[in-house]
Each structure stands twice: as C-alpha cells, then as structure tokens.
Amino acid sequence: MRRTFKSDVVYIGYVDRAEEEGGAVSPVIATVLLLAITVLLTSGIYLMVQDAVRVPDKGIPYSQLSSQSLDNGFQVVRVTDLSTELLTATVKYQIIPPSTSNASMIEGMVNDADVYGAIGSNVTFQDRDAGLTVNRGDYFIVNATAIGSEDGDWTFRLFFLGSGTRGAADLGQVILPPIVNS
C-alpha cells in the first residue's frame, strides 16, 4: 500500500515494505528449489536410460589349469590361463576320486570361509591379488595326505556358476599327480 503525504514544498512517498515482501520468494529458497528440481529431473532421466545401457556379454569364460605335487604331502592346482576374472562367489571346485576308490567327492565354493585364504584346511584357495576374484596365477592347495589323494589320479574340476547374462561353464579339469617323497 502506498501512501503519499503532502508537505508545503515536497511530496514524500512512503512504501509499506511489509506488504510487498510477502509476495516474493527469498533467493535462498529459490536456489534450493531449483537444485531440488534439477536433481529430480536428473534422477528421472537416469532411471529411464539405465536399462538401455548394459554391460556387454563377455561370453562363457574358459581356463587352463596345471597341477604339481610337493614332497610335503600337498598338491597345487594353478590357474595358468583365464579368459576373464571371475568373482569367487561364482566359482565352484570339485575333487573327484578315481573310480577304483571308495572315497567321497569333495566340493565347495571358492569363497567359503574355510577355503578362501585359509591355512590348514583340506582345500585352500590363494588369491594372489586379494581382489575376491579368480584370476590367472591364483592357485589351490590340496592337503593330499588328509583327503587321501596322495596316490594321484584324482580329478580337480573348476566350474563357473554363471552371473548376469553369462551362463554356467566348466572351466576345466586336471588330474592330481601322486606325491613323490624325496
């Protein structure tokens, strides 16, 4: 509301600021609202586009394994080649006795607590880069004396259980050699 007072010489204008300020938004609130709208729009666009962008399928992984026996009663199975790194939670191992044996098959997941990085277990997995992945150069240590594979002819198999769009695969197998005491 505007009021004008007439004086003898000069007209003095008076503006009631309280009434004018009630109609505007403060600059701080306007900035916060603009930021909130920007974040909401960006989130909405991301949600619409995320299904269109997918990681390319790398195909079924493959590997090569090698084995050796140590004179201390252990056998080592090394991953000598692997097409892509695999998460330990997606890889399973089996140790299969020969058909002439009455022993049972041993199997487990690479990320099991008594396998991954363990010491003193019947089967341990040593992750060279400690990245919770199976890579070229990683290896398994089998306590041949404890499981009864010291005579050799046991089969060590490695499986990929699949993840995402990649299907399950037999990564490879190797025959465990006999323990030769020197």
Per-residue pLDDT of 24-35, as tens digits, reads 678 888 899 999
Quote the percentage of the chain above a pLDDT of 70: 80
Handedness of CA 77, 107, 101, 171 (dihedral sign): negative
Report pTM: 0.66
Q: What is the mean pLDDT of residues 142-168?
A: 86
Query: Which of the following CATH numbers is that of domain 63-176: 2.40.50, 3.30.470, 2.60.120, 2.60.40?
Result: 2.60.40
Region 115-126 average pLDDT:
91
Contacts of 11 (CB under 8 A, 6+ apart): 4, 5
Does residue 182 register a pLDDT over 60? no
Kindly tell me if the per-residue pLDDT of 3 is higher than 70: no
For residues 78 and 55, what is the distance between their CA atoms, to the nearest angstrom? Answer: 29
Cα dist. 136→62, 112, 128, 162 in Å?
A: 11, 20, 9, 18
